[in-house]
């Protein structure tokens, strides 16, 4: 971070079992706890924004049909399935 733009600090309290998992995840990802938490917060905020966008669309156009929901599930599962298979392959 540039000197003229320091990152704000945030003090939080976390349940012990969550704290341990965060520390382990940061080590596994090779990043600092601050970087890991920032990434997790960004992901949560993106997810909320996406859900708000879907709610707004449904408010204007009506709820998604069962078929549309199933197609959405398939489109999300396909990329996740290929990532999982790659992660499980031996090096």
88 pLDDT more than 60: no
Q: What DSSP element (H or E) covers 9?
A: none
- The answer to whether the CB of 18 falls within 8 A of the CB of 11 is no
2 pLDDT more than 60: no
Whole-model pTM? 0.68
Q: Rounded to the nearest 10 degrees, what angle do helices 33-61 and 16-29 cross at?
A: 100
1 pLDDT more than 70: no
Using one digit for the tens of pLDDT, what is the confidence trace for 30-85?
Answer: 999 999 999 999 999 999 999 999 999 999 999 999 999 999 999 988 876 665 55
- The answer to whether the CB of 34 falls within 8 A of the CB of 26 is no
Going by the DSSP 8-state scheme, the letter that residue 31 receives in this structure is S
């Amino acid at each position: 971070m540039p000197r003229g733009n320091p990152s704000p600090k945030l003090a939080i309290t976390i349940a012990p079992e969550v704290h341990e998992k965060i520390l382990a995840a940061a080590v596994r990802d090779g990043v600092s706890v601050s970087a890991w938490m920032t990434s997790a917060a960004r992901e949560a905020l993106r997810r909320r924004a996406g859900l708000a966008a879907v709610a707004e669309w449904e408010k204007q156009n009506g709820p998604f049909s069962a078929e549309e929901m199933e197609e959405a599930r398939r489109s999300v599962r396909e990329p996740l399935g290929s990532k999982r298979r790659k992660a499980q392959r031996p090096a």
